[in-house]
């Protein structure tokens, strides 16, 4: 049995690199005392729930305006949800993907759920976490589209996982005081506009894309009809940009180039760049047009260029999910904290369940960099053992660079989405 547990942990540690830690989890634990696995404790003890650090995080905010705009639904379809998982993630023949899946299940506290109860256990854990937030706060839950080929046909073999719109809509409908939902619709589908109309009628607040994993080229003219429908509904498009490490399948990393988002922006779509394109490099196609040389530059550089273009000032936004993960650049995070002129266009998201992958985020490292008070570290570590959602929120509220913090409006995101109902 000990050998089996050891082998399982080795697989988990191997998968951690794909989830984005960037260093061996064992080395991180030795250096910083970071836990390897989510202990999945329940409600915060009274002394922690009332701690001044948490109270300070909520100070100056209206909880009814606080929406976490980036959260994933996870499961295996055992509830009839329609969720599917690529067999590669279920097989030891593909050890890295297998280990990655186990980390996600542990992060969502469903790694020990009885057979037939995984979907339900994940949603129940979300209910538990939301109870630890201030009343009125909400979570935007993502559906997740399949990879499609260029003819608009789904390709299961290249799809890591699929979360149907209908399931996300149902979960949000069953708990409207805590959940909203975002649809995920491939723009190459023949029925994409009809599917979007149906999603809006069912209360969708946004559309979520991960181009590299779904096979979506945002600059493809085949997306134009979908963009026109998004603009007509004034529904924001939340789309990943930069390198993608967490989800496999598409093998089309070039589709994450932030400059490819000019096409929806120029057609009047409100675009939210997930993670601020904070990872990887892309071809600077703007420069290539003039000089004939296709240089690769940090994806964040290209994102920043778009953010600074006046023409996109009322259409281009970004979420700050994943920015505190250890594989992200300190310089990028500092830049975002300090560029206060961008703050009214930034939206907070957790990228849940990833804050529950324990070695991904190290408050102690932020303290060592002078971005967090040393006294906050043990409190944040305790909070995280009970509620990774609250941990992510409190950490970001207290991060600073040169005395600058994220403005309150970064966390009060409701109005950005509810205007779609008008």
Is residue 246 helix, strand or coil?
coil
Q: What is the pLDDT of residue 88?
A: 77
Q: How far apart are CA 244 and CA 250, in angstroms?
A: 10
Q: What is the pLDDT of residue 1?
A: 34
239-262: pLDDT as tens digits? 999 998 767 655 688 999 999 999
Model confidence, pTM: 0.91
The DSSP result for 3-49, as a single string, is: HHHHHHHHHHHHHHHHHT--S-HHHHHHHH---SS-----SPPHHHH
φ and ψ of 384, to 5 deg:
-60, -35
360 in Cβ contact with 19 (< 8 Å): yes
For the chain, the C-alpha Rg in angstroms (whole number) is 20
Q: How far apart are CA 133 and CA 375, in angstroms?
A: 22
Q: How far apart are CA 265 and CA 231, in angstroms?
A: 10
Average per-residue pLDDT for the chain: 90
Q: How far apart are CA 154 and CA 87, in angstroms?
A: 16
Share of the chain above pLDDT 70, in %: 88
Q: How far apart are CA 9 and CA 102, in angstroms?
A: 10
Q: What is the pLDDT of residue 102?
A: 83
Residue 415 neighbours by CB distance under 10 Å: 10
Q: What is the pLDDT of residue 248?
A: 63
Is residue 161 helix, strand or coil?
strand
The answer to whether the peptide bond before residue 41 is cis (omega within 30 degrees of 0) is no
Burial per residue of 281-320, b for 16 or more beta-carbon CB atoms within 10 angstroms, e otherwise: bbbbbeeeeeeeeeeeebbbebbbebbeeeebeebbbbbb
Q: What is the pLDDT of residue 250?
A: 56
φ and ψ of 318, to 5 deg:
-155, 150
Name the nearest CA neighbour of 64 among 132, 126, 128, 135.
Answer: 135
Say which residues have a Cβ less than 8 Å from residue 99's Cβ, sequence separation at least 6: 11, 12, 13, 14, 15, 16, 18
Q: How far apart are CA 377 and CA 265, in angstroms?
A: 40
340 in Cβ contact with 367 (< 8 Å): no
Name the nearest CA neighbour of 168 among 183, 146, 185.
Answer: 183
The CA-atom distances, in angstroms, between 273 and each of 165, 183, 277 are: 21, 16, 7
Q: How far apart are CA 148 and CA 211, in angstroms?
A: 10
47-96: pLDDT as tens digits? 999 999 999 999 999 999 999 999 999 999 999 999 999 887 676 776 77
The CA-atom distances, in angstroms, between 144 and each of 76, 164, 169 are: 13, 6, 12
φ and ψ of 60, to 5 deg:
85, 0
Q: How far apart are CA 12 and CA 6, in angstroms?
A: 10
Q: What is the pLDDT of residue 292?
A: 56
Say which residues have a Cβ less than 8 Å from residue 340's Cβ, sequence separation at least 6: 404, 407
Mean pLDDT by 10 residues, the chain (422 residues): 38 41 44 76 95 98 98 96 86 71 89 92 98 98 97 94 97 98 98 98 98 96 98 98 75 91 98 97 84 81 98 98 96 98 98 96 98 98 98 98 98 91 46
103-149: pLDDT as tens digits? 888 999 998 899 899 999 999 999 999 999 999 999 999 999 999 99
Q: What is the pLDDT of residue 293?
A: 64
**Torsion-angle region of 360 (φ positive above 0: left; ψ -120 to 50: alpha; else: beta):** alpha
φ and ψ of 49, to 5 deg:
-60, -35
């Amino acid at each position: 049995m000990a050998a089996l547990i050891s082998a399982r942990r080795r697989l988990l540690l191997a998968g951690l690199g794909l989830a984005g830690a960037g260093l061996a989890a064992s080395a991180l634990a030795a250096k910083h005392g970071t836990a390897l696995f989510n202990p999945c404790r329940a409600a915060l003890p009274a002394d922690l729930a009332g701690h001044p650090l948490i109270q300070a995080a909520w100070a100056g905010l209206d909880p009814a305006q606080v929406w976490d705009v980036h959260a994933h639904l996870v499961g295996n379809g055992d509830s009839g949800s329609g969720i599917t998982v690529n067999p590669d993630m279920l097989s030891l023949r593909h050890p890295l993907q297998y280990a990655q899946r186990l980390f996600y299940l542990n992060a969502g506290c469903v790694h020990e759920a009885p057979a037939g109860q995984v979907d339900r256990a994940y949603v129940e854990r979300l209910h538990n976490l939301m109870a630890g937030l201030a009343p009125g706060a909400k979570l935007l839950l993502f559906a997740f589209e399949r990879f499609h080929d260029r003819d608009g046909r789904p390709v299961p073999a290249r799809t890591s996982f699929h979360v149907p719109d209908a399931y996300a809509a149902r979960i949000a409908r069953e708990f409207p005081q805590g959940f909203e939902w975002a649809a995920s619709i491939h723009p190459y589908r023949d029925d994409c506009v009809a599917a979007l109309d149906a999603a809006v009628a069912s209360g969708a607040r946004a559309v979520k894309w991960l181009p590299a994993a779904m096979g979506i080229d945002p600059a493809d003219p085949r997306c134009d009809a979908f963009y026109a429908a998004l603009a007509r509904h004034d529904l924001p498009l939340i789309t990943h940009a930069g390198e993608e490490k967490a989800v496999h399948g598409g093998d089309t990393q070039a589709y994450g180039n932030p400059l490819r988002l000019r096409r929806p922006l120029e057609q009047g779509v409100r675009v939210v760049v997930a993670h601020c394109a904070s990872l990887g490099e892309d071809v600077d196609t703007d420069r290539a047009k003039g000089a004939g040389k296709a240089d690769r530059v940090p994806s964040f550089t290209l994102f920043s260029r778009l953010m600074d273009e006046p023409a996109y000032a009322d259409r281009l936004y970004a979420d700050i999910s994943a920015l505190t993960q250890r594989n992200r650049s300190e310089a990028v995070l500092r830049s975002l904290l300090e560029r206060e002129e961008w703050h009214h266009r930034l939206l907070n998201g957790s990228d849940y369940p990833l804050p529950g992958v324990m070695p991904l985020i190290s408050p102690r490292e932020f303290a060592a960099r002078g971005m967090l008070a040393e006294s906050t570290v043990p409190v944040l570590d305790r909070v995280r053992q009970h509620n990774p959602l609250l941990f992510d929120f409190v950490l970001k509220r207290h991060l600073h660079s040169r005395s600058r913090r994220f403005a309150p409006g970064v966390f009060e995101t409701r109005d950005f989405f509810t205007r779609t109902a008008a």
